[in-house]
């Protein structure tokens, strides 16, 4: 076959896509007149190919013009990149039945490439797309081709460079050759999943095949994304305004500091030196300014010490997630931004975070688990989210706001510890209380600003990638990964290191690990995305959710997914999680039950303290009469009665509890952290 002629014909036939085609024809071993055709489709970086439609076109076009082509291997990659971002193999005509194939029986059950056979039945993290494609590709090999590669696999897992594919058939070589470039972690995961396949092919395929396993094994077949990126999207109405939020927060904090400073200066004449306070403020500002500019290098040292962060090249990220590398390069080019320093933490808890002082000193760090639990396009949206923080100067604003809160706390400590005389004591005490009130209010303002910046980073990722659905899935899968890793049996050192990572990066990370249980568990037990969406009813409408979010650095997952759903609607895309129906259900909820129970629950949650206060009030006559024992007894009795009442509500009667599923219980929008919910459960 004339390979150049085939390439030119394909480029002309697909001219509207502006593709550059490379072709390699290889004669088949069993018949020299038949060929296997390897086609590399080079496409512009900004063009998103519809691979399923392209495969169907090749399946029809190639046999009609070149009937001697019996097998087809298709690859695609953005122009200028070496690594393929997609591949598939197609058999254009059925293999003729041979006596050898009919009599050949391959006992896969005797193959195991891991020492610990318990891994074959253990609950493992979902494999990355590379590992999944490799196992599914192995399944599609014929029995003879499997016999070719199976003896080479132990060598592959020990020393990939020592494996030779020269003597293999075309399809066996096409399957095995890309695996030689996998990193040690991916090779280990592949060894486990191939062993699982040999142990139980049907179960393993059910876990791996996106067509049968739904949300849990990737979304490549139902990935809803815009045909182009950079489309301007209207921000979700409840996300706030980043400029206004930052301006108001910083103005209020500056105002609090200014008012307190004036009050102190006007009140104190002796005892407490305003000059010493001013010196402390200037020292605080100077210290924070120094920390601000040195923070990238200081954080680098902390990251290395605590989490073993490794700094990697863009090529390494590209090998793991081609779309992420393309997003990083495009954003840096568009915003004239120096490429952030890229970090990788060898931990299977999926997380990502950004830090730095100025955009040109930014660092973006992700964990290994991000590539394990998320698909390529989902990882790309996470990187886009972190780049949004860099573009918006979030770390600079948050550093300034935190400094002002520190000054308020410093004022409170100075006023609280200041020597007081009769004339000034009352005023000093009042100012100390005001300073503490300002400090608490300032802390909540900083938390509010932190939540707003997360909405804007999500919005930036949706615009940059044109793929808000992938970020919605990423948020839920990250929660799932955190839950899964938390339940894995690990040695004590690994467990402590993972816990330290999640806790230490809680405020910086893309997801609050303490909020992962609900979404992560729903993802694990749900059969489809619509069921996962129902658990977000609580996030959107329960007043306890408002209280939980008020004390969090991140918005609740349901609110972020709802915002991303509005961006998908603006791009005229099907929405991954149908939040419109969730909101419609929420509008039908009983408001009296929601808010009436909330107010009662707030009282019951503090019943022991309220009971103690009531007991002390009743014991005032006894206190005046000098009966301190009676006073203390009434206070303890009130606290005990309050606690008894609280326990009665927390642990209600278990007579005839309803039969519920975990998902249905989690979808209860009236759920309260106080009220126990009796139920019957079946399952493991």
Query: 341-345, 392-396, 421-425: which range is least confident on average?
Result: 421-425
Segment 342-368 shows an average pLDDT of: 88
Task: Inform me whether the pLDDT recorded for 286 exceeds 50.
Answer: yes
Task: Inform me whether the pLDDT recorded for 330 exceeds 50.
Answer: yes
Segment 297-307 shows an average pLDDT of: 78
pLDDT given for residue 211 in this prediction: 41
pLDDT given for residue 73 in this prediction: 87
Residue among 324, 621, 395, 373 at smallest CA distance from 488: 373
Between these two residues, 621 and 417, which has the higher pLDDT value?
A: 621
Question: φ and ψ at 288, to 5 degrees?
Answer: -70, -35
- pLDDT band with cut points at 50, 70 and 90 for residue 278: low
Query: 267-276, 473-482, 535-544, 673-682: which range is least confident on average?
Result: 267-276
Query: 118-122, 536-540, 661-665: which range is least confident on average?
Result: 118-122
Q: 68 with 34: CB under 8 angstroms?
A: yes
Task: Inform me whether the pLDDT recorded for 216 exceeds 70.
Answer: no
Instruction: Give the integer Cα–Cα distance in Å for 666 and 668.
Output: 5
Instruction: Give the integer Cα–Cα distance in Å for 304 and 307.
Output: 6
Averaged pLDDT of the chain: 80
pLDDT tens, 9-35? 888 888 777 888 988 888 776 566 788
Question: φ and ψ at 354, to 5 degrees?
Answer: -130, 145
Sheet strand arrangement including 69-78 = 20-28, 31-43, 69-78, 86-91
Q: 677 with 649: CB under 8 angstroms?
A: no
- Region of 271 (left: φ > 0; alpha: ψ -120 to 50; beta: rest) is left
pLDDT given for residue 662 in this prediction: 82
pLDDT given for residue 637 in this prediction: 94
Domains of the chain in sequence order: 3-96 (3.30.70), 131-208 (no CATH), 237-587 (no CATH), 591-666 (no CATH)
Q: 642 with 605: CB under 8 angstroms?
A: no
Token couple for 57: 């076109």
Between these two residues, 605 and 305, which has the higher pLDDT value?
A: 605
- pLDDT band with cut points at 50, 70 and 90 for residue 423: low
Q: 255 with 438: CB under 8 angstroms?
A: no
Segment 530-536 shows an average pLDDT of: 78
Segment 594-607 shows an average pLDDT of: 86
Query: 19-28, 62-71, 269-278, 633-642: which range is least confident on average?
Result: 269-278
Q: Best-predicted range by mean pLDDT among 71-85, 221-235, 349-363?
A: 349-363
Consecutive H or E run containing 70: strand 69-78
Residues 6+ apart with CB under 8 A from 323: 85, 376, 377, 379, 380, 465
- pLDDT band with cut points at 50, 70 and 90 for residue 268: low
Instruction: Give the integer Cα–Cα distance in Å for 506 and 445.
Output: 18
Percent of all residues in the chain with a pLDDT value above 90, rounded to a whole number: 14
pLDDT tens, 246-259? 777 777 777 777 76
pLDDT given for residue 274 in this prediction: 60
Segment 228-248 shows an average pLDDT of: 78
Alpha-carbon 136 to chain mean position: 26
DSSP strand pairing (352-355 vs 341-345): unpaired
| Number of continuous H segments (helices) and E segments (strands) in the chain | 31, 8
Instruction: Give the integer Cα–Cα distance in Å for 6 and 38.
Output: 11
pLDDT given for residue 684 in this prediction: 65
Angle at 16 between CA 42 and CA 81, to 5 degrees: 15
Please say whether the dihedral angle defined by the alpha carbons of residues 231, 237, 239 and 241, taken in this order, is positive or negative. positive
**Against a cut of 0.75, is the pTM above it?**
no
Query: 32-36, 201-205, 220-224, 288-292: which range is least confident on average?
Result: 220-224
Percent of all residues in the chain with a pLDDT value above 70, rounded to a whole number: 86
pLDDT tens, 124-167? 666 776 788 788 888 888 888 888 889 899 888 888 888 877 67
pLDDT given for residue 356 in this prediction: 81
Q: Best-predicted range by mean pLDDT among 88-92, 166-170, 227-231, 342-346?
A: 342-346
Between these two residues, 567 and 132, which has the higher pLDDT value?
A: 567
Instruction: Give the integer Cα–Cα distance in Å for 626 and 314.
Output: 77
Segment 193-201 shows an average pLDDT of: 87
Task: Inform me whether the pLDDT recorded for 219 exceeds 60.
Answer: no
pLDDT tens, 376-411? 899 999 999 999 999 998 877 887 777 778 777 877
Task: Inform me whether the pLDDT recorded for 95 exceeds 50.
Answer: no
């Amino acid at each position: 076959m004339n390979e150049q002629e085939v390439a030119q014909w394909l480029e002309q036939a697909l001219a509207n896509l502006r593709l550059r085609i490379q072709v390699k024809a290889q004669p088949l071993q069993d018949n020299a007149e038949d060929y296997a055709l390897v086609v590399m489709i080079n496409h512009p970086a900004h063009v998103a190919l519809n691979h399923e439609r392209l495969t169907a076109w090749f399946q029809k076009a190639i046999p009609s013009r070149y009937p001697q082509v019996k097998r087809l291997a298709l690859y695609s990659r953005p122009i200028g990149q070496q690594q393929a971002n997609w591949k598939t193999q197609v058999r254009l005509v059925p293999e003729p039945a041979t006596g050898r194939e009919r009599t050949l029986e391959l006992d896969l059950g005797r193959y195991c490439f891991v020492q610990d056979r318990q891994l074959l039945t253990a609950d493992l993290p979902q494999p990355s797309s590379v590992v999944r494609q490799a196992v599914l590709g192995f399944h599609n090999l014929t029995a003879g081709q499997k016999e070719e590669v199976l003896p080479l696999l132990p060598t592959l897992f020990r020393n990939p460079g020592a494996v030779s594919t020269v003597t293999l058939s075309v399809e066996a070589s096409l399957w095995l050759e890309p695996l030689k470039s996998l990193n040690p972690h991916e090779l280990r995961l592949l060894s486990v999943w191939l062993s699982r396949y040999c142990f139980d092919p049907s179960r393993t395929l059910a876990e791996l095949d996106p067509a049968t396993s739904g949300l849990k094994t990737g979304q490549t077949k139902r990935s809803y994304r815009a045909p182009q990126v950079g489309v301007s999207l209207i921000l979700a109405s409840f996300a706030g305004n980043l400029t206004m939020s930052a301006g108001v927060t910083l103005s209020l904090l500056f105002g609090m500091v200014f008012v307190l400073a004036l009050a102190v200066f006007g009140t104190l004449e002796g005892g407490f030196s305003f000059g010493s306070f001013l010196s402390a403020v200037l020292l605080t500002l100077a210290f924070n300014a120094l920390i601000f500019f040195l923070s990238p290098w200081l954080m680098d040292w902390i990251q290395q010490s605590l989490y073993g962060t490794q700094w990697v090249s863009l090529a390494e990220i590209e090998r793991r997630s081609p779309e992420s590398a393309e997003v990083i390069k495009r954003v840096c080019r568009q915003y004239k931004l120096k490429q952030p320093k890229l970090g990788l933490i060898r931990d299977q808890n999926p997380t990502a975070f950004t830090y730095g002082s100025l955009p040109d000193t930014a660092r973006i760090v992700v964990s290994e688990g991000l590539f394990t639990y998320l698909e390529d396009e989902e990882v790309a949206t996470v990187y886009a989210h972190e780049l949004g923080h860099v573009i918006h100067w979030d770390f600079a604003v948050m550093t300034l706001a935190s400094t002002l809160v520190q000054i308020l706390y410093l004022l409170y400590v100075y006023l609280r510890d200041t020597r007081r005389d009769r004339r000034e004591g009352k005023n000093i005490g009042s100012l100390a209380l005001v300073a503490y009130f300002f400090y608490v209010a300032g802390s909540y303002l900083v938390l509010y600003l932190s939540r707003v910046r997360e909405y804007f980073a999500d919005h930036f990722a949706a615009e940059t990638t044109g793929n808000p659905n992938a970020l919605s899935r990423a948020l839920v899968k990250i929660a799932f990964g955190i839950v899964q890793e938390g339940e894995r049996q690990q040695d004590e050192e690994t467990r402590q290191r993972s816990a330290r990572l999640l806790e230490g990066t809680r405020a910086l990370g893309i997801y609050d690990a303490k909020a992962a249980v609900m979404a992560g568990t729903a993802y694990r037990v749900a059969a489809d995305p619509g069921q996962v969406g129902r658990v977000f009813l609580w996030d959107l409408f329960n007043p306890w959710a408002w209280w939980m979010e008020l004390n969090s650095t991140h918005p609740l997952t349901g609110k972020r997914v709802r915002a991303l759903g509005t961006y998908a609607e603006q791009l005229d895309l099907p929405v991954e999680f149908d939040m419109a129906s969730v909101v419609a259900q929420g509008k039908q909820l009983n408001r009296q039950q929601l808010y009436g129970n909330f107010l009662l629950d707030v009282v019951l949650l503090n019943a022991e303290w309220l009971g103690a206060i009531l007991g002390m009030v009743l014991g005032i006559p006894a206190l005046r009469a000098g009966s301190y024992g009676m006073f203390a007894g009434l206070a303890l009795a009130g606290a005990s009665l309050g606690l008894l009442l609280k326990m009665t509500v927390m642990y209600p009667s278990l007579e005839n509890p309803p039969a519920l599923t975990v998902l249905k219980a989690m979808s209860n929008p009236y759920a309260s952290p106080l009220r126990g919910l009796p139920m019957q459960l079946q399952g493991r």
